[in-house]
Amino acid sequence: MSKIWIFDLDDTLHDASSKIFPRINQSMTAYVSNKLNISLADAHQLRDKYWKVYGATLKGLIQNHGVDPQEFLLNTHDAEELSKFVKQSHALENTLKKLKGKKIVFTNAPLHYAMAVIKALRIQKYFSGIYSIESTNYNPKPSLYAFRKILKQLGKRPNQCVMVEDDLANLKTAHMIGMQTILVSKLNKKTAFVTKRISKIQYLTREV
């Protein structure tokens, strides 16, 4: 039985924390402030609240303010601007080349952004599918709904899948439904729901 490799995108296949996430964050707060006609400080506070309640700013905006999700995602993820911060890596490419089995990307980011990042990394040809926030009706990981939705679209069972991720909460759901889990993290955060931990994505082929 060949494996299906499910890769998270940001902070798993490339570094998003240092330059990309701060910019997306800023854009989201500015968007909320403009859209709802509130101060940046109030927008920040509201986003914080929606993050706690819904797991994402967008969910809260859809449910409470009828915001158009595509308008929000296009306004907050300027793919052209953000992909300038993506560093192409031969090590990443070699890892994906060596890894046997079907590979897909499963991200909480919007599709246009995910495609731009994958293109900037020059790794499009290794993936047979990109599953974005649009693929799960705007329900982000770690929701069970998001995982079930992806599995249904893939036509696969959880025990055929390996989830490769930097986020522990997402791996917890993956493990709970029966996937193997690989944590990509420099910190020693190995827990009961992490099958293996690697400090960098390019060490993946050493472990399998």
DSSP state of 72: H
Under rule CB under 5 A, which residues in 117-176 are in contact with Mg ion? 166
Taking the complex as a whole, how short is the minimal distance between the CB of residue 167 and Mg ion, in angstroms? 5
Distance, in Å, from the CA atom of 170 to the CA atom of 9, rounded to the nearest integer, reads 12
Shorter beta-carbon distance to Mg ion: residue 46 or 174 = 174
What order do you get walking across the sheet with 4-7 strand by strand? 129-131, 102-106, 4-7, 161-165, 180-184, 196-198
Q: At 105, list the tokens.
A: 């990307």
Selected from 5, 10, 92, 133, the binder of Mg ion by CB under 5 A is: 10
Segment interacting with Mg ion (CB under 5 A) among 5-13, 22-30, 42-50, 110-118: 5-13
- Tell whether residue 8 is a contact of Mg ion (CB under 5 A): yes
Closest chain position to Mg ion (CB): 11
CA–CA distances in Å: residue 119 to residues 79, 125, 182 = 11, 9, 24
By CB under 5 A, residue 11 contacts Mg ion = yes
Instruction: For residue 89, state whether it binds Mg ion (rule: CB under 5 A).
Output: no
Task: Provide, rounded to whole angstroms, the least separation between the CB of residue 109 and Mg ion.
Answer: 9
Least separation, in Å, of the C-beta of 67 and Mg ion? Answer: 24
Which residue type is seen at 97?
A: K
86 binds Mg ion (CB under 5 A): no
Q: How far apart are the first and last CA of the chain?
A: 15
CB 71, min distance to Mg ion, A: 24
Give the start-end residues of each E strand in the chain: 4-7, 102-106, 129-131, 161-165, 180-184, 196-198
Maximum pairwise Cα distance, the chain: 54
- Which CB sits closer to Mg ion, 11 or 174? 11
Instruction: Give me the residues that bind Mg ion (CB under 5 A), please.
Output: 8, 10-11, 166
